[in-house]
Structure 1
Amino acid sequence: MALILVNFNTAGQDLSPYIRVGESTKSIQEVTKEVIQTLKDNSFTVLGAYNPSNKSSLTVVAFTRTDLKNTVVKVKDRGALAAAMKIGLVQKNGKITISYTNPDYILRAYLPINYNTYKSVFEKFSADLKTTFAPLGNEFIPFGGTVKADKLAKYHYKIMMPYFTDPVELKEFESFEEGIETITKNLEAKKGNTVKVYRIVYKNEKVAVFGVGLLNKEEGEPHFLPKIGEDHVAALPYEIILQGNQATMLHGKYRIALHWPNLTMGTFMKIMSTPGDIEDALESLCE
């Protein structure tokens, strides 16, 4: 029996996309300040924060740390997407629920064949996060559905659905610099009801990641988030990644399913237009 359990806990372990830290009765503004200060006090870099769907009851804080940021960029196929982790705050019934993206889940998915190469860095990052957030809550309960650890590298929702390795091409620029300039300018202008949440630029590697809030009422977060579940708010914001002169994004049918793995097909059908809507919004930021 022990041998079966050991085997289950390695290759067959169930992982969830989020970790619930706990609840607070303070205001969402107070909790946001606490979260940001806690991250800074523990050598994490706060990248940005915003209110998904433009709702004051939802807040996301994006953050990274030097070791994570400098490791993931070594993975050439969009590894830099894994540089930003997120904390989600959801106000409901007078309480704020605090959660964060589970690094073990995200990193296995976004660094498919490279996770084990840098496993020690990632495990330390994950352990340090738990220590860092301990003053904010003591639950540390995984939630949001489950996927087997060894399935995340080749995750897809259903047969014929896209994988991590099936990105959507948004634009080919003349140069990396032109790409940075164009996307930054459009985000500053809040084109298409978007908002810049964060930007990570690796000048030497010519890689940049933009975290983009999608605030369009008919086609963005206000449309799709209530239908698929605001408790998973740490899934946001969506990203554009620029590598060299190529701007791409993860396919909506992959990225949404990865962050909401327990979605039923019926619920997925309710946001059928969303992957295309997101592509249109991010494509417009590249024009």
Structure 2
Amino acid sequence: MKPIKYLLASMVVFSSTAFATSPYLSADPVAAGDAKSVGMEVAKKLTGAGFDVIGTYIPKGIEDSGVIVATDKGMLDAIAKTGRDSIVGAAIRIGFDSKGQVSYMNPEYWYRAYLRKNYAANENAVKALEAHLKATLGAGKAFGGDVDESDLAKYHYMFGMEYFDDDRDLAQHDSFEKAVDAVKANLAKKVAGTSEVYQIVMPEQKIAVFGVAMNDKA
């Protein structure tokens, strides 16, 4: 019986690693240049393939790198049906640098974390987005470490930190619309050194997400 036990143990170890996934995928490179021109070339690829580019951010002090934020109609529809904090998954992130290197978020990894128990119901939309990104930008190697797929739904960075679906109230407003207006106004005034990178607002579902640049040198 001992050989059988050892075989079973090996199978369990193999199974636990076979379903791990990584957060990022490398894409086909584009021509090198300053970060702004590289970003424009990547954005052109995305818009040509039907993505909607809603923001570009090149951080101060790291001017050779940047991120493009885009949306995909199929994924937006899935998020609208799911509601609540799934709205953070509406933004698709694509990274680039002045060397022409490009990478993007791995949909399977991030949406398992964003959607959690609702992932299975939206898996077709996630797979369609993944195929769309690979066809548009290329399908290179995965990188950034890996986490078992089954662990992503309950992932948090370290012991004692919040889980993804833990709420933290920052302010209260009389309505969703007033809350959105307050965020927009503060970003327009660049409160605390912030500025808007993108916004996605779904008024019917009363959910919204803002991408915020942290520009305060302090």
Same fold (TM over 0.5): yes
Partner residue in 1 for 2:203: 203
- Check if 1:74 corresponds to 2:81: yes
Q: Which runs of 5+ in 1 are unaligned?
A: 219-287
Partners of 2:25 and 2:197 in 1: how far apart?
Answer: 22
Alpha-carbon deviation of 1:168? 2.1
Partner residue in 2 for 1:49: 56
Q: Deviations over 1:224-252 (max 9, x none)?
A: xxxxxxxxxxxxxxxxxxxxxxxxxxxxx
Amino acid at match of 1:85: I
Alpha-carbon deviation of 1:11? 8.8
Partner residue in 1 for 2:45: 38
- Check if 1:163 corresponds to 2:163: yes
Partner residue in 1 for 2:177: 177
Amino acid at match of 2:23: P
Partners of 1:70 and 1:16 in 2: how far apart?
Answer: 25
Alpha-carbon deviation of 1:201? 1.0
Shift in CA distance, 64/9, structure 1 to aligned 2, threshold 3 Å: farther
SS of equivalent to 1:172? coil
Partners of 1:111 and 1:12 in 2: how far apart?
Answer: 22
Q: Which runs of 5+ in 2 are unaligned?
A: 1-6
State whether residues 30 and 41 of structure 2, in contact with CA within 8 Å, keep that contact through their aligned partners in structure 1.
Answer: no
State whether residues 83 and 205 of structure 2, in contact with CA within 8 Å, keep that contact through their aligned partners in structure 1.
Answer: no
Shift in CA distance, 9/34, structure 1 to aligned 2, threshold 3 Å: farther
Alpha-carbon deviation of 1:164? 0.8
Alpha-carbon deviation of 1:74? 2.2
Partners of 2:48 and 2:32 in 1: how far apart?
Answer: 20
SS of equivalent to 1:74? helix
Shift in CA distance, 174/152, structure 1 to aligned 2, threshold 3 Å: same
CA RMSD of aligned residues (A): 2.3
* Aligned residue among 118, 130, 133 for 2:134: 130
Partners of 2:47 and 2:88 in 1: how far apart?
Answer: 21
Alpha-carbon deviation of 1:198? 0.5
State whether residues 22 and 145 of structure 2, in contact with CA within 8 Å, keep that contact through their aligned partners in structure 1.
Answer: yes
SS of equivalent to 1:150? helix
Alpha-carbon deviation of 1:9? 7.0
SS of equivalent to 1:112? helix
Shift in CA distance, 116/10, structure 1 to aligned 2, threshold 3 Å: farther
Partner residue in 2 for 1:119: 123
Point out the structure with max Rg over C-alpha. Answer: 2
Q: Deviations over 1:7-30 (max 9, x none)?
A: 967995111111111444521222
Partners of 1:20 and 1:97 in 2: how far apart?
Answer: 8
Partner residue in 1 for 2:4: none
Alpha-carbon deviation of 1:73? 2.7
Partners of 1:122 and 1:11 in 2: how far apart?
Answer: 22
Q: Provide runs of 4+ in structure 1 moved above 6 Å.
A: none
State whether residues 94 and 103 of structure 2, in contact with CA within 8 Å, keep that contact through their aligned partners in structure 1.
Answer: yes
Partners of 1:9 and 1:34 in 2: how far apart?
Answer: 40
